[in-house]
Structure formats: C-alpha cells, structure tokens
Structure 1
Amino acid sequence: MTDPISIVSTAMAEDTLRINTIGNNVSNVSSVGFKAQTLSSKGDVHSDLINNSDGRLLRTNRKLDLALQGTGFFVVDNNGQQLLSRNGSFSVNESGQLVTSNGKFLVQGRSGPINVGIDSFSIDSKGVIWVGDREVDRLLIKQPNDSMLLATAGNYSSASSREVKDGYVVYQGALESSNVDVAGEMVQLMAAQKHFSLMQRYFLLYDGLMKNGINQIGKSK
C-alpha cells in the first residue's frame, strides 16, 4: 500500500525545487546571456532543462562586447576546462588575449586562446577576427551534444560538444540579454506555491486524522 505521507512529501519537495529554480531565473533576469531553466522530473530524478532561445540584443557600441544569436555558444577556458557561454562581455588582458569580463577565462578561437594584441580589431558576423585587413582567427562556437549544467554565472558545462560553423550570427558592439520571461515565471511561481500550500494542508489534515485515530484506539482499550 502506498504511503500517502510519502506521496505528499515527494510532491512538496518537488514544489520546493521548482520554486528555487524559478527564483534563480528571476534573480538572473539582468545577467547577460543567462538562459532560463525549467525543472524536469523523471521518476525520482530531477534536473534543470535549459531554455536555449535567444535573448534580446542590447546595443552597447563597445567593440569588446559580442552577442550571439542562433545556434551555439562562445567557448571559454577555465584552467583546461572548456565552458560554454553566451555572455560576450569581454576584455583584453595584459598579454593581449581576449578574456571574460572578470579576466579569469580565456576566450577560445579555432587556434586556441585568441590574441588580438593592442591593435584595433574587428569581428564579423561569422566570428572571423580581423586586425586591419588580416584574418587572425575565428571564434570557436560550439553546441552541446547533451544536457548542460550551470557552472558559474553565465557559463555552462556539458559532457560533450561539437563545433558549429553556421546557424548563428555574431554582433560586435552588442550583448545578449537573459531570455527569462518574468511574467511567465511569476505565473509558474504562483502555481507552485499554491500547490505546495495545498499539499501542506493535506499533510496536516492526514496527520491530524492519524493522531485522532491513535487516540481513539487508546481510549477503546
């Protein structure tokens, strides 16, 4: 016989996970390149599915800001670990390498870390990097082969990925906003909270009935 308390507890735990996922989405509504997550449940296994739809383009006119639209992610190197990112707010370090805004991760081209030196450079819609009229590299754009996990703010990890050479457009002087739909998240949040409250009331009612039944058994002896 299935234990009603176990069923209710599982439902409440899932509601809590869903509320936490929604809260994380809303807290990152202003995070460049952030992708909204949705809780997926298969049996007792819960995971966050990532929504890969494009966020809006935000024009900045800063040449170190890059936005991707369409398929794929920028690739950044974290001490040998390749991470995928749609946060194209980049800078140039003292060695002339293109790095993430915090200066920690090296942006990857097809030839490895991208070095633009101190010269003026441009990046075209295909991700080709030009210094003057000389092509120096091309942005490495990859697509995950399986599910992604949020590694750090705006950076994702995947067990495997593949390079993509088309299906995307690179915009220099722009950033991609998060794709979080705040109104939709609020609707989901209210539904999750309502369901959690309903399960909580059921739990308390069932607990009260059980205690009353035990007391009645005790009195009958």
Structure 2
Amino acid sequence: MLRSMYAGISGMKNFQTKLDVIGNNIANVNTVGFKKGRITFQDMMSQMSASAQGATANRGGINPIQVGLGSQIGSIDNIHTQGFRQTTNNPLDLALEGDGMFVVSDGEREYYTRAGNFYLDEQGFIVNSQGYYLYGETESGDNRLQIPRDAIGFNIQTDGVVSYTDGHEVTEIGNIMLASISNPAGLEKVGSNLFINGPNAGVLEEDDVPTYVLPGTNGTGTIVTGALEMSNVDLSEEFTEMITAQRSFQANTRMITTSDEILQELVNLKR
C-alpha cells in the first residue's frame, strides 16, 4: 500500500481535530472568561531508506534518505491572553486586569476561573452561577464572603477588600483571594468556565497546599468592579484558520484520491 495514502489519512484526522478546536472557539466567542484553544502538529517518524555515512579519505559524507509517514497532533493549548472587558455596571460583576484567577469552591474541591459573574445567594454569600462559593479571607477564618441581609450597600475594591454599609458605618467583611499560577496553560478545563489544578500548572503552594494571595500581589492583577472579562476569541483569526484547515483537509483528501488512482493503474497493468 502506498505510504502517501496513510500520510493523507493522518492529515485528514489532524485537520478534523483542528476544525473541532476552531468550532469550539467560535461557539464560545461570547462566553465569559473563556480561553481559546490552539492546536499544533508535528511530523511522525520517518522511514529510513538509506542511512547517513561519514566522510572518508577518498569520498565525502552522505546525508540520510528518509520518507515521512505523515503528521500527528503535537499539542492542544489553552491560550490565556487577556480577553476584552465589557462594562456592565453590576457591582457583583468582577473582571481581573492582569494575571491570576478567582477561586471558587463547592465545599469539597477548589476550582479556578476568569469568569467574574457572581451573585448573592439567599444567605448573602457571594457565589458563581453554579452556586460555588467565591474564595476569600475573613477574620473569622471562614473562606466564604457573606454580606449581611440588613446591608443597604456593599463595595468591592481593586485590592479585593469587600465591605458593606448599614447606613451608619462601613464594615469590612474580608478580602477576595486569587490564585497565582505560573503556567495557566497547564490547568485542565472541566466545563462551566472552570479549571482545576494540573501537575504542570504551577499554582503557588506552601507545604504542597495551594496558597492564595491578595489581588495585585505575587504577580496577580487587580479587580475591576462592574465589568466582565469576555472571551479572548478573535473571530477574524478563527475564520482564517478555518479556511486554512478546510483547504488543507481537501488537499489531504486529494492525496488519497490520487494514491487510489495510482493503485488502480497498478491493478490494471495485467489487462
């Protein structure tokens, strides 16, 4: 069987995966805090037809003769560049200007997110759309931030300080804490705009336990109230990549068709 046919098949499979990644990016163009994906390829092992030979006293050296066997997926990366900021004027919509991630917890596990659309539950705790508590630091030691029901207003500052007023005085509740991550691309997506820690993420830790910091410290960004960080997907870039992937897919199918025609000619030699 011709090697070109198998090379074409590998190319088709890879560009189908590339289209899957592009399709997911486009589908999430308006998803809050979404980080786009990017796929890279690498060549597969090449078949050695003749090995290299060193130079001798009577003859120069000879380079190896190799035939490539197609391509394979090298990586699918999450690109954590800053998304554009959308002003909402909602006091519970928070955007991060810079690095770092919000931390939310379901009581059993902690998740990281750039989606800052938070809400108040019936008890006044700040939660995300799944009901996970926004991680903070309070004097009582509770990592949940709660605004009393009798509060007539509250404020979240750029350094993460959360305070409320009952009409007479301003009281600080605590601080929003952020995760400082040296390699955000190493986080694993788990859906619902959430990430979990991975072996290669580099979340700041102390004694193998994740340690969270105040906004604006340890390389993290500051909080912008009344705004959301939207997706970092660029539609013009995605459509360009889609056209390229489509043409490359077609080129690989043409290679399979051409290889099939050659095989047909070989079969017909006996006639």
TM-score by length of 1: 0.88
Equivalent-residue separation in structure 2 for 1:51 and 1:164 (angstroms): 23
Classify the secondary structure of the residue corresponding to 2:116.
coil
In 2, the alpha carbon distance for the partners of 1:122 and 1:53 equals 28
Of 176, 181, 192, the match for 1:139: 176
Contact conserved, 2:94 with 2:223, CA < 8 A, in 1? yes
Q: Which residue of 1 aligns with 2:134?
A: 107
RMSD: 2.2
The alignment-based identity, stated in percent, is 26
1:157 has 2:196 as partner: yes
Which moved further from structure 2: 10-19 or 137-146? 137-146
- The one-character-per-residue Cα deviations of 1:130-156 (angstroms, maximum 9, x if unpaired) are 123332221121133441222113222
Q: Supply the distance in 2 between the matched residues of 1:199 and 1:64 (Cα, whole angstroms).
A: 50
The offset of 1:117, in angstroms, is 3.1
Q: How many residues align?
A: 217
Structure 1 unaligned spans of 5+: none
**In terms of Rg, which structure is larger?**
2
Note the C-alpha offset of 1:4: 2.2
Please report how far the alpha carbon of residue 214 of structure 1 lies from its aligned counterpart in structure 2 after TM superposition: 2.3
Instruction: Please tell me whether residue 116 in structure 1 is matched to residue 147 in structure 2.
Output: yes
Q: TM-score, normalised by structure 2?
A: 0.73
Extract structure 1 runs of 4+ deviating beyond 4 A: 42-46
Offset from partner CA, 1:163-207 (integer Å, 9 cap, x none): 354241201111111111100111111011111100111111102
- What SS does the corresponding residue of 2:180 show, helix, strand or coil? strand
Q: Secondary structure of the residue that 1:54 maps to in structure 2? A: coil
Corresponding position: 1:32 with 2:60: no
State which drifts further: 13-22 or 145-154.
Answer: 145-154
Give the Å deviation of 1:86: 1.1
In the alignment, structure 2 segments of 5+ residues that lack a partner are: 45-71, 205-211
* Contact 2:86-2:227 within 8 A present in 1 as well: yes
CA 1:139–1:201 in structure 2 vs 1: closer, same or farther (change >3 Å)?
same
Counterpart pick for 2:159 among 104, 118, 126: 126
Q: 1:116 offset after TM fit, Å?
A: 2.2
